Structure 1
Amino acid sequence: MQFFLIAGGFARCYEMTDLSSNKMYAVKVIPQSRVSKPHQREKITNEIELHRTLAHKHVVKFSHYFEDQENIYIFLELCSRKSLAHIWKARHTLTEPEVRYYLRQIISGLKYLHNRGILHRDLKLGNFFINENMDLRLGDFGLAAKLETVEQRKKTICGTPNYLAPEVLNRQGHGTESDVWSLGCVMYTLMCGSPPFETLDLKETYKCIKEVRYNLPSSLSPAAQKLISGILQKNPSDRLTLDQILNHEFFKGFTPDKLPPSSCVMVPELHPPSPAKKFFSKMAKSLFGKKKSKVEKIPCEEKEDRDISKLVSGIVKCSINRQISYKTVGPRLSSLPSNLTSTRRQEKLQ
């Protein structure tokens, strides 16, 4: 085995290669001295037992673990492009299409957790990991907990200060709405360059969170401003749900299918489809889609009659289609309205 240090903190994380298979892992190494007390051991046990049950394309994969007299070793999927925190530090702000790209994946992983009755409780840029293919993985379940009734909810304050929800600071307990609040803070941070409630003084930060006091830069699009405002609501019941977030007008904008690796350090060149391309794509689907499966279900005795009628209708359609194609994609394409022939400009960096 070969080990290379990736990061340090409560535990050190290493990149490891199993020489027998050449498989690479991220290995979380926790000193036994850090889990000498019962509650510390319980925390690590909870993290392992919870994480090993998860299987989702946007959650870091758990492989296996073991321990010796010195350390506990947790083997995880390697995300070679590190985390959103590293990208944010290099870029400072991301474009709206990029933010939509990452948020869709975060929400997908988060819905999976919430549907299984699990709260993450520490959503932040450093816990969103990026693999070689620029796919996002939600990780670090050290503070994760099972969802409980309002009466049973944990009242302890845990998480990262800049991303804590008002009800957590007020010791009202954790619910799925607290994760949604943190998601809003993540969105704001990616688009504005800093967390919404960040100050030089921690007490002042907590005060701003409790009062929901922050600024929305005018550089943000109206849709982005509305979405952030809809998420950062003081009353948890007033916050948008994950499904409402995905259906918000902000997500009607262009979202790339994939981001280039270069976007980790610089603004990517994205090419939204032109209005004309979208129009013709819809036309093609409506004219030629969903025809094949119905033919196979026709009884043999009816097949000849229907084949004749289909042949006739096919000739008619062919004639109609030719007329449409001549009128829309012939030499006079330039006479179409400008909004159908011109390619949309790349969205501005927010």
Structure 2
Amino acid sequence: VKQVCLDSSDPDAAKKEYNRLQGEVDLLKTLRHSNIVGFLGTSLYQHVVSIFMEYIPGGSIASILHRLKLFLECQINKDWVAFLHQNRVIHRDLKGNNVMLMPTGVIKLIDFGCARRLSCLNPTAPNSGELLKSIHGTPYWMAPEVINESGYGRKSDIWSVGCTVFEMATGKPPLAHMDKMAALRLTVISATYCLFLISSDQSVRPSADQLLKHSFIPKGHTSIKYWEAQKKKCCGTKVSV
């Protein structure tokens, strides 16, 4: 349950926050995918808005990395980012804390508070039509074009996916050794900390559909045996992806 307390002393602010939450709910209602958290309903009681979603008991990818201190080998050739982009939705806050794990090993994307549906209807032209300029997201995972407000589209999510893969491999996002402001500046200036899918130039950054065909992503790969081998190192729960 995601709960937000509306400011009863400021009707205008309360209305603005309620409309923002309603936008998040309207978006969640349209997104039905096995790797996206399921929406169940809402309630408003005594100025508290509650959004009810599918329960995901396994914790986030980030919490697992922090707790177990190990390389997290996940099947990343899922199409959930491509699904969002085909539906004109940009998540805008992709990171380890927003990728949750079911006990069965299925991953679920959560937190659509920053998400935005584009007016552009062409999924193959991610940077044509409507370009967003408002800054949303978390500094270490934000694409250069988001930081410098030059206009961005679907490919800002691709940068964040790359940072999340980096986080899964090392336990921390790129530039985590720096403070947030320094990391933001260096992200704009340099692409030294690139992965196979991160380029500071969004025009040459691959789309989600192109990533699914990349040789870096093994086809039909599972890591069940890997996680079973790690079973004794964690809290006794089978965790596989």
Which TM class, normalised by the smaller chain length?
Answer: 0.7 to 0.9
- Counterpart among 228, 235, 239 of residue 201 in structure 2: 235
The 10-residue stretch of structure 1 (53-62 or 145-154) with the greater mean CA deviation from structure 2: 145-154
> Is 1:75 matched up with 2:44?
no
Task: Give TM-score scaled by structure 1 length.
Answer: 0.58
Counterpart residue type for residue 33 of structure 1:
D
User: The residue matched to 1:48 in structure 2 has which SS?
Assistant: helix
- Tell me the equivalent position of 1:168: 146
Q: CA deviation at 1:264?
A: 8.5
User: The residue matched to 1:133 in structure 2 has which SS?
Assistant: coil
Separation in 2, partners of 1:76, 1:126: 16
Separation in 1, partners of 2:141, 2:110: 16
Verify the 8 A CA contact 1:87 1:265 in the aligned structure 2: no
- Give the structure with the higher percent helix: 1
Separation in 1, partners of 2:198, 2:232: 28
**Number of aligned residue pairs:** 224
Q: CA deviation at 1:82?
A: 1.4
> Is 1:262 matched up with 2:231?
yes
1:3-56 CA deviation, whole Å, 9 max, x = no partner? xxxxxxxxxxxxxxxxxxxxxxxx112112399514322211110111012111
Give the 3 Å change call, closer, same or farther, for CA 41–169 of structure 1 in structure 2.
same
- Counterpart among 89, 98, 101 of residue 130 in structure 1: 101
1:116-174 CA deviation, whole Å, 9 max, x = no partner? 11110110111111112121011111010012455642211110000000000111223
- Tell me the equivalent position of 1:305: none
The 5 A counterparts of 1:138-287 are 138-149=109-120, 150=128, 152-215=130-193, 229-252=195-218, 255-256=221-222, 258=224, 259-260=227-228, 262=231, 265=234
Give the 3 Å change call, closer, same or farther, for CA 199–81 of structure 1 in structure 2.
same
Separation in 1, partners of 2:204, 2:233: 35
Counterpart residue type for residue 231 of structure 2:
S
Verify the 8 A CA contact 1:197 1:214 in the aligned structure 2: no
Separation in 2, partners of 1:110, 1:129: 14
Task: Give TM-score scaled by structure 2 length.
Answer: 0.83
Verify the 8 A CA contact 1:155 1:174 in the aligned structure 2: yes
Separation in 1, partners of 2:147, 2:233: 33
Gaps of 5+ in 1: 1-26, 216-227, 270-350
CA RMSD of aligned residues (A): 2.7
Counterpart residue type for residue 70 of structure 1:
H
Gaps of 5+ in 2: 121-127
User: The residue matched to 2:199 in structure 1 has which SS?
Assistant: coil
Separation in 2, partners of 1:111, 1:252: 17
Verify the 8 A CA contact 2:77 2:218 in the aligned structure 1: no
